[in-house]
A and B are shown apart, each in its own frame.
Chain A
Amino acid sequence: MATEIRELICINCPMGCPLTVTLEDGEVVSVTGNTCPRGDAYGRKEVTNPRRIVTTTVPVVGSKTEHMVSVKTKTDIPKDKIFDVVFALKEVKAQAPLEIGDVVLANVAGTGVDVIATKRA
């Protein structure tokens, strides 16, 4: 049986509790160091399925005001796909006019998540 111990910081509130998550064969068996249940939930998710929202910019053509438009993944994506998302966006040039929420790239890097504009251009 493989035991793994991971040290994390809970980021759900400014307390920033230091968490110790113990895994056995990839299964979480305990979370300690948290002060409230949110820390427990964060610790479990962070070691089994960590996810992040990715924000970046892409060039935009046809806009009077902007060279670049800021974008984000509409929801969080698996953390290990962050660079895949960024690379996929390297190929993208957005076309003005754009409203906040317009899709700039659908189903980015096979995550099933769309990348949307966060600024008008």
Chain B
Amino acid sequence: MSKVMEHHGVVIVGGGPAGLAAAIAAYEAGQHDVLVLERDVQLGGILNQCIHNGFGLHTFKEELTGPEYAARFIQKAQELDIACRLGTMVLDISPERVVTTVSAADGIRTIAADAVVLAMGCRERPRGALATPGYRPAGVYSAGTAQRLVNIEGQMPGREVVILGSGDIGLIMARRMTLEGAHVVCVAEVMPYSGGLKRNIVQCLDDFGIPLLLSHTVVDVEGKDRVEAVSIAEVDERMRPIPGTEVRYPCDTLMLSVGLLPENELSRAAGVELSPVTRGPIVDQSLQTSIPGVFACGNVLHVHDLVDFVSQEAAEAGAQAAHFSMAKDAQDGAAERGVPVVATDGVRYTVPSFVDPQKMADKLTVRFRVANEYCDRYVSVYYDDERVQHRKKRVMAPGEMEQVVLKREDLLAREGLAQITVKLEEE
């Protein structure tokens, strides 16, 4: 038992786009002892199954497919000779940053880390979200599972398909199934608007004449062993099905695209404080969680729809983790959380939730999502009672992430600042 525990400067949990960008940035910030832990047998995360184009428009000014976007970061990590341990699942992270892993090759191992970056991504909301009575026959898939079956395994989940939920994965799968020869009967969405990107509605539904039924939901699933039909009804403003509006659609497959949840079992067990809104860690300007030296980025922090923003955010987390790991003396003090950023009046949440003006960079991007579809609203930032930003946006929707930029000099100029508020205003 006298073996010395394995030790690394920055340990990154997850080798998707967030983990890769964090690893590269940590290396470039001067910390060369970086280790990436990935449970899958390959790097790239969810991008491996996202074979459609539309990635990297902001970063590379071209439309890449998911695997191509991932490959650019994988190659960069290889050029820097960053250690990546595949087939290695992280089981536990302690508040002292001891990471426990398991793999077929090495069994159980413990690794001490000066800094940890959480980059575990997200998972789909389970089908329990489908509040229908009756059996649970075969043929009900989450859209992401179906995507993996078709694109990685080369198997077709079914031939007559109804999709519930118009998030991007549902829209992308409507097109994918159509191209593979299936018939997509319709996409039903309980909200009066789609949570997906406009370009996906046009290119995945309109191009193929697939109807999008807004304010509709599945009220019944028929079939004992295999789905035989689903019934869809219109809903009222309070999202209750309206009696008499049911229509029965024969089908063999029901796909659910009802949202994503950050994958935070590990964070929770480590004692990281989580936000009830994003379900991800509450972080400060350095993307540091409530545990000093533990940082978070990508979909584990809050669900992103554009991978470019994941990469940007993760690069920041990686660099901050590197600084933390190299500034040993600054470590482990009680985390000073800085000025709280409050989201209100149509702004659902902000990342980060705290800003320490002393420690922030010259400019800090605060990302947020709005609660509803809005036209001609102003995005306002208040420092205490003083309005410092007021910018009109023609259209905002919950499906698209928004941002404001805070300047360090402005914050430093206001000594004793107690609260930063981000909200929407009509004028």
| Residues of chain A at the chain B interface (Cβ within 8 Å) | 8-9, 11, 14-16, 35, 52-57, 59, 65-68, 70, 72, 79, 82-83, 86, 100, 118-120
Please indicate the chain B residues that have their CB under 8 angstroms from the CB of A70 in the complex. 51, 65-67, 151
Contact of B153 (CB < 8 Å), options: A16, A55, A68, A72: A68
* A11 to B203 Cα, complex, angstroms: 9
Chain B 386-419 per-residue mask, 1 if CB under 8 angstroms from chain A, else 0: 0000000011010010000000000000000000
User: In whole Å, how far is A108's beta carbon from the nearest beta carbon of chain B?
Assistant: 14
Shortest 7 CB-CB contacts between residues of A and residues of B: A16-B198, A70-B51, A11-B199, A119-B67, A68-B154, A118-B65, A55-B52
Q: Is B105 an interface residue (CB 8 A)?
A: no
Residue of B nearest to A16 (CB): B198
Assess whether B51 is in contact with A16, with CB atoms less than 8 Å apart. no
Contact of A53 (CB < 8 Å), options: B63, B67, B153: B63
Contacts A9-B201, A67-B154 hold; do A53 and B53 have CB atoms under 8 A apart? yes
Please indicate the chain A residues that have their CB under 8 angstroms from the CB of B395 in the complex. 14-16
User: In whole Å, how far is B286's beta carbon from the nearest beta carbon of chain A?
Assistant: 29
Please indicate the chain B residues that have their CB under 8 angstroms from the CB of A86 in the complex. 179
Assess whether B52 is in contact with A14, with CB atoms less than 8 Å apart. no
**Can you give 14 A-B contacts (C-beta < 8 A)?**
A8-B202, A9-B201, A56-B51, A57-B51, A57-B150, A59-B154, A68-B151, A68-B153, A70-B66, A70-B151, A83-B179, A100-B67, A118-B65, A120-B71
Please indicate the chain A residues that have their CB under 8 angstroms from the CB of B65 in the complex. 55, 70, 72, 118
Please indicate the chain A residues that have their CB under 8 angstroms from the CB of B67 in the complex. 70, 100, 118-119
Please indicate the chain B residues that have their CB under 8 angstroms from the CB of A55 in the complex. 51-53, 65
* A8 to B51 Cα, complex, angstroms: 26
How many residue pairs, one in A and one in B, have C-beta atoms under 8 Å apart? 73
- Number of B residues with CB within 8 Å of any CB on chain A: 32
Assess whether B400 is in contact with A14, with CB atoms less than 8 Å apart. yes
| Residues of chain B at the chain A interface (Cβ within 8 Å) | 41-42, 48, 51-53, 63-68, 71, 150-154, 179-180, 197-199, 201-203, 206-207, 394-395, 397, 400
**20 additional A-B residue pairs with CB within 8 Å, beyond A55-B53, A70-B151, A119-B48:** A9-B201, A9-B206, A15-B395, A16-B198, A35-B394, A52-B203, A55-B51, A55-B65, A56-B179, A65-B41, A68-B152, A68-B153, A70-B67, A79-B207, A82-B207, A100-B68, A118-B67, A119-B51, A119-B67, A119-B68
* A15 to B395 Cα, complex, angstroms: 6
Please indicate the chain A residues that have their CB under 8 angstroms from the CB of B71 in the complex. 100, 119-120
Please indicate the chain A residues that have their CB under 8 angstroms from the CB of B42 in the complex. 65
Residue of B nearest to A46 (CB): B202
* A56 to B67 Cα, complex, angstroms: 12
Please indicate the chain B residues that have their CB under 8 angstroms from the CB of A35 in the complex. 394
Please indicate the chain A residues that have their CB under 8 angstroms from the CB of B53 in the complex. 53, 55, 72
User: In whole Å, how far is B130's beta carbon from the nearest beta carbon of chain A?
Assistant: 28
* A59 to B197 Cα, complex, angstroms: 30
Residue of A nearest to B198 (CB): A16
User: In whole Å, how far is B80's beta carbon from the nearest beta carbon of chain A?
Assistant: 19
User: In whole Å, how far is A60's beta carbon from the nearest beta carbon of chain B?
Assistant: 9
User: In whole Å, how far is B261's beta carbon from the nearest beta carbon of chain A?
Assistant: 24
Residue of B nearest to A120 (CB): B71
Contacts A52-B203, A55-B65, A68-B152 hold; do A14 and B198 have CB atoms under 8 A apart? yes
Please indicate the chain B residues that have their CB under 8 angstroms from the CB of A56 in the complex. 51, 179-180
Assess whether A118 is in contact with B51, with CB atoms less than 8 Å apart. yes
Please indicate the chain A residues that have their CB under 8 angstroms from the CB of B63 in the complex. 53
User: In whole Å, how far is A40's beta carbon from the nearest beta carbon of chain B?
Assistant: 17
Please indicate the chain A residues that have their CB under 8 angstroms from the CB of B66 in the complex. 70
Assess whether B68 is in contact with A118, with CB atoms less than 8 Å apart. yes
Assess whether A11 is in contact with B68, with CB atoms less than 8 Å apart. no
User: In whole Å, how far is A35's beta carbon from the nearest beta carbon of chain B?
Assistant: 7
* A15 to B375 Cα, complex, angstroms: 10
Please indicate the chain B residues that have their CB under 8 angstroms from the CB of A59 in the complex. 154
* A21 to B97 Cα, complex, angstroms: 59
* A52 to B206 Cα, complex, angstroms: 13
* A56 to B203 Cα, complex, angstroms: 14
Assess whether B52 is in contact with A67, with CB atoms less than 8 Å apart. no
Assess whether B198 is in contact with A11, with CB atoms less than 8 Å apart. yes
* A16 to B64 Cα, complex, angstroms: 21
Contact of B394 (CB < 8 Å), options: A9, A15, A82: A15
- By CB atoms of chain B within 10 A, which of A15, A54, A118 has the most? A118
Please indicate the chain B residues that have their CB under 8 angstroms from the CB of A68 in the complex. 151-154
